[in-house]
Structure 1
Amino acid sequence: MEKYVIGLDIGTTSAKAVLFRKNGLVVGESESHYPVFHPHPSWAEQDPIVIEKAAIKAIRSVIKNANADKSQVTAVGLSTAMHSLICVDNNNQPLSPSIIWADGRSVDQADRLRLQTDIYLKTGTPIHPMSPLCKLVWMKENNYEPYKNASKFVSIKEFLLLSWFGEAVVDYSVASATGLFNIHTFDWDKEVLLVAGIKREQLSKPVAPTTMCQGLSKELASEMGLETNTPFVLGGSDGPLANLGIGAIAPGDVALTVGTSGAIRQMSAKPKTDELQEIFCYAVTEDRWIMGGPTNNGGIVFQWLRDVLGEKEVALVLQQGGNAYDLLTKLASDVTPGSNGLLFLPFLNGERAPYWDANARGSLIGLTLSHKKEHIIRAGLEGVVYSLYSVGEALERLAGQPVNLFASGGFARSPLWLQMVADIFGHPVQVPESHQSSAWGAAWFALLAVGEASSLEGIKESIPMKQTYEPNGESHKVYKELYETYRELYMALKPHFTTLANFQRKH
């Protein structure tokens, strides 16, 4: 009987379970969605119980839909979005919502902490409202009731492991993304814990990504459709796992991922940080670190364009059973590269790398009477790639020039967007058959843990590749010229972004 492995990817908007063969071919996928709540301006929260139910449903559904037997599942590897924070009580029940990476309530705390450059140099986590460190300082300074009563502070992955196995463990990359973990000593940093106002015993034990948890209750195993002794392997956070799952693990291998947000990353054999604080550096294994930078504004920009510009057309397409994003992509593809001189700064949700500015705001520059809906859509998509390119410039300074460029995530389904990446970067872009690279990276760690894979590098032989997008020379020239203006616009508009952001918070 053939054996399979599951990659469970807990993302910002959904839990995805992917059933893989050991050669990386996808047998089946299942996705269960959940909402993000915004109880106050700039706050972003989720219900951890709802996410837990979605994860269980995704696992059950992928096994059922693939007509697989529970005995065929070798292991489950875990991937989660970074920077979530939940306060839990002595019984591991949530006292607070899951406060996610997009939450911006701790802007003032981040502005102060950023001046303490030694925190970043030790932890590799840029000082920004996304990080649990800044969230914890906000909680402390605002007498947040769940913070005062918490027995532990955990991420969404740790919450699931506590709920399912009663084990308080956290993999290195999720721990690294808290801003509390020293990437040189592989332990919680005493001085940073003092800043956050918490104790070591309120955090989980940092462990290697191949660490296994076993012993599902009969009821939970039945609900998932798994055997009670099925190993759950910790894996990592979605960023480094996307690199692993796409094969970008050697020096010069650069991975771009765009889901709700986006990122560009490269693996390194040693940690590298500097006082400019432009990129992150997170531990993954005891001899590998991931360097790069995230953008707050990836697929969420496309979603905004759909909702604002395509309301009528989208409603009609949906009535006819079509895909709204395909419609918008078709409109954008009829516009020449450069969108007739229209530039879109895609900072709809503030921005992380390379600026780490929660006050940044989206802007359309260069509008004329000749510009139509399709120009704005294309400029929005181009703006997301310009943003990734600006992060790539900062990454190149510390990690060196890219040799191979790989793309994954939801945007890897869009030929137009992938061609934009090739044209703006001026570099061929390799795309795998499956866009679920984080899930495959998690699954590979699971295979390593149970002895079904022999090395991290071996994954390169088990990644079915789909195609390569070659850059268009003329388009690259256009984008290179416009990017120079794009890069200067942020600095020119930054003072106005702060004024507008303060106005929005007051009103």
Structure 2
Amino acid sequence: MEMPTSERGYVLGADFGSDSVRAVVVDLTDGSMCAEAVCTYPRWINGLYQLPEEGIFRQHPADYLEALETVAAEALGKAGDRVRKAVRGIAVDTTGSTPCPVDRAGTPLALTRGFEEDTGAMFHLWKDHAAVNEAEEINRVLSDWHGLDYTKYQGVYSSEWYWAKILRTSRLSEKIREAAFSWVEHCDWITGELAGNTDPLTMYRCSCAAGHKALWHSEWDGLPDAECLGSLDPALKKAALNFGRNVKPAGTKVGMLCKKWAERLGLPAGVAVGGCSFDAHAGAVGAGVRERILVANLGTSAVDMMIERAERLPTRQMAYACGMAEDSILPGYMGIEAGQSAFGDVYAWLKRFLIWPSEQFGDEKTKRELSEKLLGELTRQAEALDIGSALPALDWFNGRRYPYADESARGAIAGLSLGTEPPQVFQSLVLATAFGWKRIIDSLSREGLAIETIIAVGGIAQKSPYVMQTMADALERPIYVSASAQACARGAAVFAAAACGAYSDIFAAQEAICEGYVSEYVPNTARKRSYAEAFRRYCRLGESVR
């Protein structure tokens, strides 16, 4: 579906990842990308506000604002003045759950006097796991509040999510507890900034974040009961009461780009601001998610997404296998989300482990050269190894998300000997991540969710044929790789296209803007028996260490 040439315009989509923000400028006529740019967060890249050994990962709001201005200027500069003047919409996606305490005006506390370097007053990145104990408390209370189970659609509440982070930070800092009027997700705050409304009571809150992380649902008419949350801590009740009711799907027109941001980005008046979502969900939209299509976003972690009409879903409990939220991916559908807490991070761990000596004793040149060559050589040698003799390993390096969430679960490698070589360990970890994914797909299929097509997006899908072929062999299913190298940012562009009225709805915008497949991985049937036995070893190891 193409627009008439006379109506030619452009949209800007921005994807805020864990380390950087990426922006794309997309032509509304044919969906082609006019320009793209990437900007790392200046404070984050220098290692500020991170304590990995304690599971603490915080990001300063100024990083987001500065990076957005820089990346948009670069992308629009590449596109040229003619394109800049014809931009009709802008939308974003971000990591999540990445919330931050804000004052009455909706300003992140870290941008206010006295909180500039207070990590509790910053955005708590999705992978911040400091609130494990608080998550356990939340599960005990919210799973049975006067007979109502608020966790029934998401399963075990995670330390990565909204309420757990609020509870922990409020208990640790009386200063933040008193100053915080509410808490906002990164995606909602940036959208509010662009539209000029960050008032916590009236600002836009996306269905994706509200449903999957804050447990918003029509069954209980919004958030969990404020008294229920308040029984854990009055700070949670306060946050709930000051959450507002403006929860709407991505692609909704939130408003017009405010004067401040129009000037900062050099954009004309009349640019529409579209509703947002989390990055993986935007990636699913950018890859063309539809009914019976599963989109896997394979990055540092893995997120698997589907959509289904609520009336077609099984009536039995599925929270052990996936999380579900209304309108969280596409409006009118239940968004179905599963995933693995560590995916690419597992390979990155091995890489860091192996180059440790060069980091301690080598020069920068040696370290850089080793880092660049290592995964390539590990891949080359691992590909030649026999699957039948592979070491069993578990992918739970950052806990197990689905199925059967368990944040205390940890990775393992069995069968090591004095003769074990690094390529064998790498092979075992690639198989572990593939088998972890297989358990998720098998669980969804057992529950009656029809999966006819699997599309993979993300850096690993684009860059690692070895990993992708292993995934196809493990699943015994073909896997298509999206042609879009920036599927998440393209999904944000779809949101912007729908919001500015270029297309009748988000589905029409998707049809016009989404790209096809760049490659297909077909399972090798000759290795079916070897993979089946290796999967049984994976499952036995999981049972033995659980």
Q: TM-score range by the shorter chain?
A: 0.7 to 0.9
What is the correspondence of 1:186-205 to structure 2 with a 5 Å cutoff? 187-191=222-226, 192-194=228-230, 195=232, 196-204=236-244, 205=246
Residue of structure 2 in register with 1:469 after alignment:
521
Matched-pair contact (CA < 8 Å) for 1:310–1:328: no
Matched-pair contact (CA < 8 Å) for 1:24–1:440: no
Matched, 1:176 2:217: no
Tell me the alpha carbon deviations over residues 309-344 of structure 1, each in whole angstroms, 9 at most, x when there is no partner: 246599558459967654543343343446x32123
What is the correspondence of 1:116-135 to structure 2 with a 5 Å cutoff? 116-117=142-143, 118-121=148-151, 124=154, 126-135=156-165
Task: Supply the distance in 2 between the matched residues of 1:147 and 1:86 (Cα, whole angstroms).
Answer: 12
SS state at 2:335 partner: strand
Matched, 1:350 2:399: yes
What is the correspondence of 1:260-299 to structure 2 with a 5 Å cutoff? 260-270=300-310, 274=317, 277-283=320-326, 284=328, 285-299=330-344
Matched-pair contact (CA < 8 Å) for 1:122–1:183: no
Task: Supply the distance in 1 between the matched residues of 2:535 and 2:351 (Cα, whole angstroms).
Answer: 24
SS state at 1:108 partner: helix
Matched, 1:221 2:253: no
Task: Supply the distance in 2 between the matched residues of 1:24 and 1:70 (Cα, whole angstroms).
Answer: 16
Report the more deviating stretch, 309-318 or 451-460. 309-318
Task: Supply the distance in 1 between the matched residues of 2:166 and 2:270 (Cα, whole angstroms).
Answer: 36
Tell me the alpha carbon deviations over residues 109-164 of structure 1, each in whole angstroms, 9 at most, x when there is no partner: 22233344344445536411111122223345445531332112101122223433
Matched, 1:155 2:185: yes
Alpha-carbon deviation of 1:92? Answer: 2.8
SS state at 1:198 partner: helix
Tell me the alpha carbon deviations over residues 39-82 of structure 1, each in whole angstroms, 9 at most, x when there is no partner: 46122221122122222222222122333531132211221222
Report the more deviating stretch, 233-242 or 31-40. 31-40
What is the correspondence of 1:1-40 to structure 2 with a 5 Å cutoff? 3-22=9-28, 23-34=30-41, 35=44, 37-39=49-51
Residue of structure 2 in register with 1:411 after alignment:
460
Question: Kindly tell me: are residues 321 and 365 of structure 1, through their superposed partners in 2, closer, same or farther at Cα, counting changes over 3 Å?
Answer: closer
Alpha-carbon deviation of 1:388? Answer: 1.7
Matched-pair contact (CA < 8 Å) for 1:122–1:184: no
Task: Supply the distance in 1 between the matched residues of 2:524 and 2:369 (Cα, whole angstroms).
Answer: 37
Alpha-carbon deviation of 1:200? Answer: 4.0
Matched, 1:138 2:168: yes
Task: Supply the distance in 1 between the matched residues of 2:166 and 2:449 (Cα, whole angstroms).
Answer: 34
Task: Supply the distance in 1 between the matched residues of 2:420 and 2:301 (Cα, whole angstroms).
Answer: 27
Alpha-carbon deviation of 1:473? Answer: 0.9
Structure 1 residue ranges without an equivalent (≥5): 495-507
Letter aligned with residue 20 of structure 1: V
Residue of structure 2 in register with 1:98 after alignment:
123
2:92 to 78, 83, 86: 78
Tell me the alpha carbon deviations over residues 363-407 of structure 1, each in whole angstroms, 9 at most, x when there is no partner: 111223443112222222222222222222222233524211110
Letter aligned with residue 155 of structure 1: E
Matched, 1:481 2:538: no
Residue of structure 1 in register with 2:296 after alignment:
256
For normalisation by structure 2, the TM-score amounts to: 0.82
1:242 to 283, 286, 308: 283
Instruction: Report the identity percentage.
Output: 20
Letter aligned with residue 41 of structure 1: E
Matched-pair contact (CA < 8 Å) for 1:266–1:399: no
Structure 2 residue ranges without an equivalent (≥5): 110-120
Task: Supply the distance in 2 between the matched residues of 1:381 and 1:331 (Cα, whole angstroms).
Answer: 13
Question: Kindly tell me: are residues 428 and 275 of structure 1, through their superposed partners in 2, closer, same or farther at Cα, counting changes over 3 Å?
Answer: closer
Question: Kindly tell me: are residues 404 and 216 of structure 1, through their superposed partners in 2, closer, same or farther at Cα, counting changes over 3 Å?
Answer: closer
Report the more deviating stretch, 199-208 or 42-51. 199-208
Aligned positions, number: 492
Task: Supply the distance in 2 between the matched residues of 1:303 and 1:321 (Cα, whole angstroms).
Answer: 10
Structure number with bigger Rg: 2
Alpha-carbon deviation of 1:298? Answer: 1.6
For normalisation by structure 1, the TM-score amounts to: 0.88
SS state at 2:480 partner: strand
Task: Supply the distance in 2 between the matched residues of 1:481 and 1:120 (Cα, whole angstroms).
Answer: 39
Task: Supply the distance in 2 between the matched residues of 1:295 and 1:144 (Cα, whole angstroms).
Answer: 34
